[in-house]
Amino acid sequence: MYRIGIDLGGTNIAVGIVDEAQRIIAASDAPTVSQNGAGALLNDIAATVNDALARGGLALRDCAGAGIGVPGTCDTARGIVRYAHNIGWDGVPVTAELRQRLGLPTFLANDADCAALGEVVGGAAKGCGSALMVTLGTGVGGGFIVNGRIWSGHGGLGGEFGHMCIEMDGAECSCGQRGCWEAYASATALIRQADSAAKAHPESALNTTVLNGRTIYDAAASGDETARAVTARYAEYVGVGLVNFINALFPEVVLLGGGVSGAGEALLASVRAYVAAHAFVRETALLPEIRAAALGGDAGIIGAAALVH
Amino acid sequence: MYRIGIDLGGTNIAVGIVDEAQRIIAASDAPTVSQNGAGALLNDIAATVNDALARGGLALRDCAGAGIGVPGTCDTARGIVRYAHNIGWDGVPVTAELRQRLGLPTFLANDADCAALGEVVGGAAKGCGSALMVTLGTGVGGGFIVNGRIWSGHGGLGGEFGHMCIEMDGAECSCGQRGCWEAYASATALIRQADSAAKAHPESALNTTVLNGRTIYDAAASGDETARAVTARYAEYVGVGLVNFINALFPEVVLLGGGVSGAGEALLASVRAYVAAHAFVRETALLPEIRAAALGGDAGIIGAAALVH
């Protein structure tokens, strides 16, 4: 049987039909239009599902069920989106609504959790019973898989990995608190750190480029001392949060995703070195492997499909 | 059927026979003598089990199995204690050894994890699917229960809740790192904070007593300004770590145990206020309840017995 994976984003609805080898064998997408209300958007989602099936020469009866990842706080047990600010949802009973439209068993989870699950069932953490996936993007997000299942907290209220305080009374965070990991380890924070370093070092190549994760790591790779110092310190910021979760939760593997993870080994090697030097477990061979996420945008679809059971 | 719970500590072996209502119906204990090797200590444990059974008028055949909590790093899946420094154990196959001596199915977990599980099956978190128990003692320990089961990390290597960095480049910790939660929120840290405040404030009653968790909270209760400032700041240190775990893991309930938790509401109320003001979830009614652990020393026995399945 096939399963339907739906990754509902703030700008796009992405649907994939996933086979038992965790491959997307047919797909479709559509823009996310939220201003006409949840019912209209759910209709668009159902239409996109039907389009993906048609492209694969399949019908709903070929599928065991559908899973959907939503960018918000999800009460997965009850199938309700508590709130998803991007799309204006508040208390939407998504699984019941989709079941009505598709006539299939339907399951719900947060989109970042779906991405983590996708990497576990078919990506960089394939075969692992536990994994922590951390996304270094505009903010710092994450998903935690334990005993093969998403753990998003009681009532789905957890998963705010970026809002761990790593510096009491530290840098201001967009959430209103101080010292959050996100305020140091997000792409936004990296750019701010590079901007500040560039101003202090007029000779740096960082002054001659638009700053983003790629250009900062490129400048470091070219030997720019200021960029090297920025990326070295940034790896420590990423590392300190990973050490915290490794010490407490010790997942089998840690995955880094999001824009900054595109820096690849330049980021991973220095993060691994920090973790090896600071983790409570001193035997490096026992520590969780730290890897780049592998599935990119497909992770959310594959993970959403994996919710079907 | 009854289950046997064994709490192996650095100074005592405590055994209880636990009924289906999670009550200890018979018990025995003996000193922990570790210098004659693991085999001799395991013999003592088996003898203590038999003594507890005799006191209850029971036999091994009345029991479904035995669980043991050990103060160290436990590979629960394989039933092996990786290391337990207090008792000099290194790679001891505890479940196989005890099964041989008792002729019953035998299960293993870390002692702090057993205490957390005990509180979930029969104590302050009874009926909760998830719980975080934090012990404020010489160090800061903890146990995390998720979907009704202990999660101690891959290979049992996690659970080091006290070694979460809350202040990069902060106070030195006994583990060799800096800024660990334990260096701020343990009983040891509270005493150090009170000692330092007492020296700066010669008029404080803290100068006229032996400092420990109880005397510091007693001085605060009597209106000593210095003690009040110390306990207020200490609640923030406890709170910041709890907020970190609540934001990420959002257990249904948080329990505080260990010596300092004896301060009761004087500690709990200020910790709750900090968490309500700093947690990512802004609706206080949705936050996990923060309660004192209820079972004291029995938690480890009841939780060890609950490992039997």
Closest CA to B107 of B128, B82, B85, B81: B81
The answer for residues whose C-beta is within 8 angstroms of residue B301's C-beta and 6 or more apart is B5, B6, B7, B14, B15, B16, B18, B24, B27, B118
Residue A180 CA neighbour count, 13 Å, CB half? 24
> Same structural domain for residues A87 and A199?
no
- Give the model's pLDDT for residue A86: 85
Dist. CA B272–CA B236, nearest whole Å: 10
> Same structural domain for residues A245 and A177?
yes
Closest CA to A278 of A224, A226, A231, A241: A241
> Same structural domain for residues A194 and A280?
yes
pTM of the model: 0.95
> Same structural domain for residues A61 and A200?
no
> Same structural domain for residues A139 and A114?
no
CA A229 to chain centre: 27
Closest CA to B268 of B301, B304, B242, B303: B242
Q: Are B180 and B237 in contact (CB under 8 A)?
A: no
Helix (H) or strand (E) holding B55: helix B38-55
Helix/strand/coil for A9: coil
Q: Are A226 and A197 in contact (CB under 8 A)?
A: yes
Tokens at A71, concatenated: 């960018």
A152, A160, A247 member nearest B160 (Cβ):
A247
- If one counts the domains in chain A, the total is 2
> Same structural domain for residues A150 and A247?
yes
Task: Tell if the CB–CB gap between B158 and A278 is shorter than 8 Å.
Answer: no
Report the chain B residue with the minimal C-alpha distance to residue A73.
Answer: B281
Task: Tell if the CB–CB gap between A165 and B160 is shorter than 8 Å.
Answer: no
Tokens at B100, concatenated: 């041989």
Dist. CA A190–CA A5, nearest whole Å: 33
A167, A175, A251 member nearest B167 (Cβ):
A167
* Helix residue ranges, H only, chain A: 38-55, 94-102, 111-122, 182-185, 187-200, 213-221, 225-249, 265-278, 298-306
- With an 8 Å Cβ cutoff, the interface of chain A facing chain B consists of 129-130, 142, 144, 146-147, 149, 151-155, 157-161, 163-168, 170, 175, 177, 236, 240, 243-252, 278, 280-281, 286, 288
Report the chain A residue with the minimal C-alpha distance to residue B180.
Answer: A244
Dist. CA B290–CA B302, nearest whole Å: 21
> Same structural domain for residues A155 and A273?
yes
Pick out chain B residues at pLDDT < 70. none
**Chain B environment of A155 (Cβ under 8 Å):** 250, 286
> Same structural domain for residues B284 and B186?
yes
List the Cα angle B275/B276/B280 in 5-degree steps: 85
The 10 Å Cβ neighbour count of residue A32 is 18
- Give me the interface pTM, i.e. the ipTM: 0.94
Report the chain B residue with the minimal C-alpha distance to residue A275.
Answer: B177
A157, A159, A250 member nearest B158 (Cβ):
A250
> Same structural domain for residues A45 and A68?
yes
Looking at the complex, report in whole angstroms how far the Cα of residue B90 sits from the nearest Cα belonging to chain A.
15
- For residue B212, give its domain range: 131-292
Give me the CATH number covering residue A59: 3.30.420.40
Dist. CA B306–CA A179, nearest whole Å: 39
List the Cα angle B71/B74/B76 in 5-degree steps: 130
Dist. CA B306–CA B114, nearest whole Å: 8
Helix/strand/coil for B77: coil
> Same structural domain for residues B6 and B66?
yes
- With an 8 Å Cβ cutoff, the interface of chain B facing chain A consists of 129-130, 142, 144, 146-147, 149, 151-155, 157-161, 163-168, 175, 177, 236, 240, 243-252, 278, 280-281, 286, 288
The answer for residues whose C-beta is within 8 angstroms of residue A231's C-beta and 6 or more apart is A216, A217, A220, A263, A266, A267, A270
Task: Note the pLDDT tens digit of each residue in B34-50.
Answer: 999 999 999 999 999 99
CA-CA distances (angstroms) from residue A230 to A93, A224, A270? 45, 10, 12
From first to last of its 309 residues, what are the pLDDT tens digits of chain A? 999 999 999 999 999 999 999 999 999 999 999 999 999 999 999 999 999 999 999 999 999 999 999 999 999 999 999 999 889 999 999 999 999 999 999 999 999 999 999 999 999 999 999 999 999 999 999 999 999 999 999 999 999 999 999 999 999 999 999 999 999 999 999 999 999 999 999 999 999 999 999 999 999 999 999 999 999 999 999 999 999 999 999 999 999 999 999 999 999 999 999 999 999 999 999 999 999 999 999 999 999 999 999
Task: Note the pLDDT tens digit of each residue in B234-290.
Answer: 999 999 999 999 999 999 999 999 999 999 999 999 999 999 999 999 999 999 999
**Chain B environment of A163 (Cβ under 8 Å):** 247, 280
Task: Tell if the CB–CB gap between B177 and A147 is shorter than 8 Å.
Answer: no
> Same structural domain for residues B233 and B109?
no
Q: Are B45 and B89 in contact (CB under 8 A)?
A: no
> Same structural domain for residues B165 and B282?
yes
Dist. CA B120–CA B140, nearest whole Å: 19
